[in-house]
Structure 1
Amino acid sequence: MGRTNHHRYLGAGIFTGSLAILALAAPAMAQDGLVLEEIIVTAQKRAERLQEVPVSVTAFSASTIEDAGIKTAEDFLSMSPNIRMVQSFTVGNSFVTVRGISQINNNDPSVAVVVDGVPQSNQKQLAQQFFDIERIEVLKGPQGALYGRNSIGGAINIITRQPKDKMEGSAEVGYASGNTWSATAAVGGPVVQDKLLFRAAVSYQDSDGLITNTFLDRKADFYQDKTGRLQATWMPTDSISVDARASLSRTEGGAVLYSQLPTNGFSNATWIKPEENVLGESQRDMDDLSLKVDWDFGAATLTAITAYSRVKESYRGDLDFSSVQALGQGQDLDVEMISQEVRLTSPNDQPFRWIAGAYYLHTDRSLSTTVFADTDSTVAGFVPLMVFGDESNDNDAYAVFGQGAFDLTDKLELSAALRYDSDKREQTDLLRASAVRQKTFSKWQPKVTAKYQWTDAVMTYATYSTGFRSGGYNVPTVTPPVFAKETTTNYEAGFKATMADGRLVLNGSAFHTRLSNAQIFKVDLTSGAQIIDNIRRATLTGLELEMQTRLALGWDLFGGIGLTDSEIKDFDGTASYRGNQVPNNTKFTLNAGSQYSFEITENLGGLLRIDVDHRGKQYYHADNTDFRRKITLIDLRAGMTYENWSLTAYVKNLTDKQYFSEYGDAFWTGSPSGEDVGQLSRPRTFGVTAKVRF
């Protein structure tokens, strides 16, 4: 820490007035010659400088991840314009909304998530502990041409720390509000110098919880997670590397911790804590194995990635969300995924650069939904009353893709990409004589980009891109029995500029997206069915602006502004909800902050950091009746380092803002009581961590 350049952050954005002041001050600051960290990303499946990639990307380096205390996906997504995440209902359930395109229950993700080159094909895989991470890249806008199905809103690229030829490691312990204990450790190095390397990392977290069930007088959001990763890299020759990875995660915690609210008008001032008579529980198991082979034979690099994943999650909780002893609910999910990707990538140092490949994914998925009789106000006392859904799914997804980029001049680059995805879905309804339904959802996904490098420090681009999320099946007795595939067509223009001799970075983009058959979630109370339906047509128009500057030695200022104005053009063929915002859209986001790292003595350094997350009005449903008013969340961090030791104290949600992170109107959620429900946000949290590196 201290006077080094260790503490850096690449993201950007701040208030418009501050941008003007910084621009005026830039010539004076340039005299110091202190440049910001340069980040290399793999957003386009090859290593490139972040400032040269013609995509709206927010990237987090290893030092930023540590300095900002990033431990979950929600932590880094709150620092990215136009994208926010909510985790609710179960330990694995999460809802990511990017540029107005949202994740919904029981369906495919709204953004592609890739960990060390392996797609995470189930939305339950994102809500996990992040530790021993080298880099995170958040791509906004449809990325179907390279990332395929379910990258309709964007992509999240996560790279864990890689094995090195030098033995190294770290260990960290922490304590926070809610009697929360955490510990992580990592170690890696050579088994055979320059030939065989390894890295192992483990994480443990245990918390009593922060949200009180007032009827039971117990914490409802208790949580425990145990995760381990092991990686081995073998380099038999200078041109071949083999990378094997395994991870295991076991998570359990609270579930269905909803507050019940009267339906006589939504009020942001009504903070009613959960009063359910049953303390909900959920468990999730995740197992992942992958093998990656890279062979550089000069003309191109051949990459083959074979992966296996299994996700199991089950939950039990109150169905009426009240203190009345009546009914319980539960769901059991089991997903197995086997994938294979093969691609060829040309060298970077050519005027024409290309990528070509193919991808296959086989998924076995079972889902059972049950209503229970609540016999003694405990999950253990639940007795099955009725099975509302019991299905088995056998899916095969195929894709072929290619991309080419050509330097027409030393300043102008044209690139084009095309991907074809075919997703064959077979559902067996085990409740109805094992009835089988089959349907294939497919889509060509083109992308065209023009990039102009005005100077070494200023680049502009314009792009046309598309995205695709598969359709699927509801219970055959409801309407619609089949929901349609969701597609996007995006037009975008942007710029990336590095100014003041590398001390000021300013990136921006504007976009207009046509959204067809947007998928939404609702519950039919009469049948007890969870239903996915479609909004026929909507548009999304907005912009993003990100900035970072180094004001002085060790002092950074950073932030981002996002605006997404959505409009429903055709909800269901009638005039219903026309002109409204799409569900879960937040029209305006602003993240801003500052970090100062300084030297106290020759061996002792300090760190001060503030992060501000401002979220504008959010509309929960297509009728726009219920909404969350704008909120501002503030996080503070302060730390010290001595040689290879560090100690950090932090507070999250400094002003103890309360709001509903998830909200469901009775009309859309099928609340048995006829009242609205919502999940309260986390209150103010204090914590401290200690870390050692070796």
Structure 2
Amino acid sequence: MAGDDPIVVTARGRPEAQLAVPDTVTVFTREDIVRRKLTTIDDFIAETPGVFMINDQDPGTNMITVRGVSTNRNQSPSIAYVVDGLALADSELFTLRTYDVARVEILKGPQGALFGRSASGGAIDLATSDPTNEAGGLASAGIGNGFTWTVDGVANAPVSDRVQLRLAGSYRNTDGFIRNSYLGRKVDGFISRNLRLKARIALSETGTLKLRAGWANEEGGAAYISSGNVTGLYGGRLSGDALTDPQGDFEGRASREWWGTQAELEQELGDRLLLTWRSSYDNYHKDFVEELDFRHDTPLTLDGIPLFPNGIQPISQPVDIEAWTSELRLTSQGAGPFRWHAGVFFQRLERDRTDDLGPLLFGAEPQRAETRSNQIGLFAQASYDLLPTLETTIGLRYDRDRRKEDTVGTRTGTTYARRARTFEKWQPKLSIAWHPTDNFTTYATGSVGFKSGGFNPLPGPSDIWSANFAAETVKSLEAGLKARLAEGRLRVALAGFVTDYSNFQNTVFLGNSVVLSVPKVDVHGIEASAQADLGLGFGVDAGAAWTHSRVGRYTTPNPTPEPGEPSILDLEGKRTPNAPDWTVNAGLGWQGTRGAAKIDARVSVAYVSRVDFEIDNILHSPGYASVDGRIGVDLGSWSLEIWGKNLFDRRWAISAFGQQQLPLLLGLGPGGPFDSFTINTGRQFGLGATRRF
């Protein structure tokens, strides 16, 4: 259906017209990526209504929320991040720099039937550029404020009729944008180095082998966190005078290195079947050091006692990851009324994380959490045309995740705890889509997703959390329509959804990062998008998502009880963390020629409504808007651009944790209590040039 739609997606495991897919799918083509200056996964998410991302403390720690379904810190993600057909094993890998990208698709709603566990919120499907049979490439360089400069390059080399190679690299160096008022210098500078080599080998007329090897190395500032009594002075509202610069006396630092390989074999089995095998290996190490008081007052007191003469520093949290991932899939070929695919998936994850809390250990040895996960998935999906205009799709996946975790002393090797649990789930998906014409689709979809439970730090006698927490299950219903009008010059889409959470995994800081399960969360919402060709070179696009995500019936012990406060908190009706009610995007572009020059100009605005950073809804960022712009000039083999992000230099908090959830911050002094938060970088702008050869 919708066979002449120029936008093709692979959301359901085969190339299809976007208009025909019974899911909400946001697509960024190579042209979109250039025009919108999308260079990180943050950029793609910021351009996608209904999706929100928190970057926190260091380059690898992130939380992505899709339609109210949010990732919890240091545990299984809520969104599958797929690169060249295989899901990444850990959210630490999500923020590796994107470059030489051919296409990005963002699917909203549970996608467990196709992508398995950790796709309860949706999936990000990223395809890097393949080698081609044409020799050439490009080199680009840019400079921007914060003494930021970038260099990117691509070289495509056909070795023979059967073998093609593609080498791509990206380098970024910046002094940063956030100034520590006590140290008197910027503290968010970093260097990012990246390389990728891909090979495409035609084994026969029906078989193709693709190989990929990649490497990334980053180092720079981290945990540039501000501190102040936002709860007491501003009622938890992080705006205006509350948004102070960092003032700690210890400069946080992070470095990380990743390398990985992937192989993909595609073999046609006659005219009707395609066999695909993919396998990858990822190796990742991160060093991270920070302070936990984010102050320069010494001695630092806790409940009035001067326990920390030099502050709470250094705190070290290194992470090591090894992952092996494989998938074997059989897909039907052809455009007949019955289309299907089936496969088996395996992923082995080894993750070691040390929490060396320094002075807070009071001489005790740091402990390392050694987590091992073995996931096996069996999946199948079939689509059948009941009528020439009516399609039904049934998908089903079974995932079994065997997880174990040993808590080990880093100095003595003592095993403090040894835990193991198995999480398994059948994840069905059913869709029905009506295509009365090639330019119109209306559909209804029901789907189930889940993410594994896990293990908290061992609780003490007075702690309110349990050693283990349950798996999270998401059930969703979606109905929508998509249409192309005015001879394809106008595209519109509208979708409504209802989602039911069970055992929402809420991350809380209680001396360490722990998960408290919320039995029920109710989510519903509406999304709409439109793109229009206005003529005379002008085009407009817009999207809006309203997501009402609220805690159901839930009471929990008060983590920071003060005199006169209840010992049990009733949090029913609270907003879920990191899930704004509204996300809105709009852009206006113009493309035209002036003499030999092709000009491409675009201005866009993004709005995010109130963001609550914790489940008590005290610390929050009010709604904010950001305006971006870019002008590109194409002069044949040369391209020039000038660009800006957040042109009006708006400031807001991008993450926070507060005294009402963390007893340490409540008791810190002198001058406490305190809340901690991270501010955004403010306005960025720059110039760039690209030479194609």
**Could you tell me the TM-score, scaled by structure 1's length?**
0.91
Percent identity between matched residues is 30
Query: What is the CA-CA distance between 1:459 and the residue it aligns to?
Result: 0.4
Indicate if the aligned counterparts of 2:406 and 2:415 stay in contact, CA closer than 8 A.
no
User: What is the CA–CA distance in structure 2 between the aligned matches of 1:388 and 1:99, rounded to whole Å?
Assistant: 37
Partner of 2:317: 331
Distance (Å, rounded) in 1 between the aligned partners of 2:13 and 2:138: 29
Is structure 2 residue 270 aligned with structure 1 residue 305? no
CA–CA distance in structure 2, aligned partners of residues 470 and 438 of structure 1 = 12
Query: What secondary structure, in the 3-state scheme, does the structure 1 residue paired with 2:357 have?
Result: strand
| CA contact 2:353–2:370 (8 Å) conserved in 1 | yes
Aligned to 2:484: 498
Structure 1 residue aligned with 2:341: 355
Distance in 2 between residues matched to 1:610 and 1:189, nearest whole Å: 36
Letter of the structure 1 residue corresponding to residue 653 of structure 2? F
User: How far is 1:435 from its partner?
Assistant: 3.3
Find out whether 1:593 has 2:587 as its counterpart. yes
Q: Is the 8 A contact 1:87 1:127 kept in 2?
A: no
Residue in 1 that maps onto 2:621: 628
Q: How does 1:47-196 map to 2 (within 5 A)?
A: 47-193=15-161, 195-196=162-163
Contact 2:5 2:17 survives alignment (8 Å)? no
Aligned residue identity for 1:520: N
Letter in 1 for 2:76: D
Deviation at 1:110, TM superposition (A): 1.7
- Sort the Cα spacing of 1:273 and 1:364 in 2 relative to 1 into closer, same or farther, 3 A: same
After TM superposition, list the pairs within 5 Å mapping 1:357-372 onto structure 2.
357-372=343-358
The CA distance in 2 between the partners of 1:428 and 1:641, in whole Å, is: 57
Equivalent position to 1:561, from 536, 544, 560: 544
Q: 1:669 to 1:206 in 2, by over 3 A?
A: farther
Q: Output one character per residue of 1:327-367: Cα deviation in whole Å (capped at 9) or x when no partner.
A: 22110110100111101000141211111100111111111
Letter aligned with residue 462 of structure 1: A
**Distance of 2:638 and 2:407 partners within structure 1:** 57
Deviations 1:43-83 (A, max 9, x none): 11111111111110000110110111110111111111110
Give the aligned residue type for 2:542: G
Q: Structure 2 CA distance, aligned partners of 1:385 and 1:331? A: 17
**CA gap 1:524/1:463 in 2 versus in 1, 3 angstroms:** same
Matched residues in 2 for 1:373 and 1:415: separation?
57
Q: Counterparts of 1:469 and 1:388 in 2: how far apart (Å)? A: 29
Alignment partner, residue 236 of structure 2: 266
Deviation at 1:98, TM superposition (A): 1.0
Contact 1:504 1:547 in 2 (8 A): yes
Contact between 1:183 and 1:204, CA under 8 Å: does it hold in 2?
Answer: yes
Aligned to 1:666: 659
Please list, as runs of the form range in 1=range in 2, the aligned pairs for 1:460-609 lying within 5 A after superposition: 460-478=442-460, 479-525=465-511, 529-572=512-555, 576-601=570-595, 603-609=596-602
SS at 2:76's partner residue? coil
Amino acid at match of 1:94: N
Deviation at 1:384, TM superposition (A): 9.7
Does residue 1:394 correspond to 2:380, yes or no?
no
User: How far did 1:224 drift?
Assistant: 0.7
Does the 8 A contact of 1:371 with 1:386 survive in 2? no
Give the letter aligned to residue 222 of structure 2.
A
Aligned-partner residue type, residue 677 of structure 2? G
Which one of the candidate residues 635, 645, 651 is aligned to 2:644? 651
Rounded to whole Å, the distance in 2 between the matches of 1:214 and 1:321 is: 12
Write the letter of the residue equivalent to 1:364. Answer: E
Secondary structure of the equivalent of 1:278?
A: coil
Checking the alignment, whether the CA contact within 8 Å between 1:406 and 1:415 is kept in structure 2 is yes
Residue 391 of structure 1, CA deviation: 1.8
| TM value normalised by structure 2 | 0.91
Task: Look up the SS of the partner of 1:420 in the other structure.
Answer: strand
Deviations 1:111-134 (A, max 9, x none): 100111121111011212221111
Q: How many residues align?
A: 646
- d(CA) in 2 for partners of 1:643, 1:671: 60
Whole-angstrom CA distance in 2 between matches of 1:339 and 1:204: 28
Aligned to 1:236: 203
| Residue 37 of structure 1: how far off its partner (Å) | 8.0
CA deviations on 1:229-251 (whole Å, 9 max, x unpaired) are 00011112111000110100001
Contact preservation (8 Å) 2:5, 2:19: no
Instruction: Give the 5 Å matches for 1:423-442.
Output: 423-431=401-409, 433=415, 435-442=417-424
Contact 1:82 1:99 in 2 (8 A): yes
Secondary structure at the aligned position of 2:579 is classed as: coil
Q: What's 1:417 paired with? A: 395
- Matches for 1:609-628 after TM superposition, within 5 Å: 609-628=602-621
> What is the deviation of 1:663?
1.5
SS in 1 for 2:552: strand
User: Which range is displaced more, 652-661 or 667-676?
Assistant: 667-676
Q: Distance in 2 between matches of 1:301 and 1:417?
A: 19
Aligned to 1:7: none
Answer yes or no: is the 8 Å Cα contact 1:370–1:385 preserved in 2: no
Q: CA deviation at 1:287?
A: 1.1
How far off its partner does 1:92 sit? 1.8
Corresponding residue to 1:318 among 277, 281, 291: 291
The counterpart of 2:183, out of the listed 216, 221, 241, is 216
Asked if 1 retains the 8 angstrom alpha-carbon contact of 2:68 and 2:549, the reply is yes
Shift of 1:415: 0.6
> In the aligned structure 2, how far is the partner of 1:387 from the partner of 1:183?
44
Distance 1:293 1:202 in 2: 24
Contact 2:631–2:642 (8 Å) recurs in 1: yes
Q: CA deviation at 1:203?
A: 0.5
User: Once superposed, what is the RMSD of the aligned Cα atoms?
Assistant: 1.6
**SS of 1:454 mapped into structure 2:** strand
Unaligned runs of 5+ in 2: 298-309, 557-567
CA distance in 2, matches of 1:233, 1:87: 35
SS at match of 1:323: coil
Partners in 1 of 2:55 and 2:650 — Cα distance?
17
Distance 2:366 2:334 in 1: 54
Conservation of the 8 A alpha-carbon contact between 2:600 and 2:633 = yes
Question: What displacement does 1:626 show?
Answer: 2.3
SS of residue in 1 equivalent to 2:356 = strand
1:257, 1:280 within 8 Å by CA — same for their partners in 2? yes
- Range with greater deviation from structure 2 (153-162 or 264-273): 264-273
Task: Look up the equivalent residue of 2:634 and give its one-letter code.
Answer: T
Residues 582-609 of structure 1 show CA distances to partners (whole Å, capped at 9, x for unaligned) of: 11110001100111011010x2121211
- Kindly provide the amino acid, as one letter, of the partner of residue 181 in structure 1: W
The answer (yes or no) to whether the contact 1:536–1:572 under 8 Å persists in 2 is no
Consecutive unaligned residues of structure 1, counting only runs of 5 or more, are 1-35, 375-382
**Is this contact kept in 2: 1:368–1:387, CA < 8 A?**
no
Judged with a 3 Å threshold, the aligned counterparts in structure 2 of structure 1 residues 173 and 386 are, in CA distance, closer, same or farther, namely farther
Contact map agreement 1:369 1:387 (CA 8 A) in 2: no
For the 8 Å contact 1:90–1:253, the answer to whether it is kept is no
Find the aligned partners of 1:640 and 1:369 in 2 and give their Cα distance.
50
Q: Is the 8 A contact 1:91 1:254 kept in 2?
A: no
